[in-house]
């Protein structure tokens, strides 16, 4: 069915596919929301500081 080289290539493909899948899950569930919330909080702080500077 498979030669040994094809089997190793298939295992390498599955490994890379699995790593990519879990990396995307990690990025979508943790990194991107963390980045969005953090940048929003910083922007709100900047807006408040601008308002204080005007008054």
Q: What is the pLDDT of residue 48?
A: 97
Q: What is the pLDDT of residues 1-23, one digit of tens each?
A: 889 999 999 999 999 999 999 99
Q: What is the pLDDT of residue 55?
A: 81
Using alpha carbons, select from 21, 39, 10 the residue that is nearest to residue 1: 10
Residue 35 clears pLDDT 90, i.e. is over it: yes
| Tokens standing for residue 42 | 């910083």
Residue 45 clears pLDDT 90, i.e. is over it: yes
Q: What is the pTM of this model?
A: 0.69
Q: What is the pLDDT of residue 1?
A: 82
Q: How far apart are CA 6 and CA 14, in angstroms?
A: 12
CB-side exposure of 34: number of CA atoms within 13 Å? 6
């Amino acid at each position: 069915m498979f030669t040994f080289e094809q089997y190793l290539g298939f295992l390498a493909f599955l490994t890379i596919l699995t790593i990519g899948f879990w990396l995307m899950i990690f990025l979508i569930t943790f990194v991107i929301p963390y980045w969005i919330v953090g940048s929003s909080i910083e922007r709100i702080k900047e807006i408040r500081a601008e308002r204080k500077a005007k008054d």
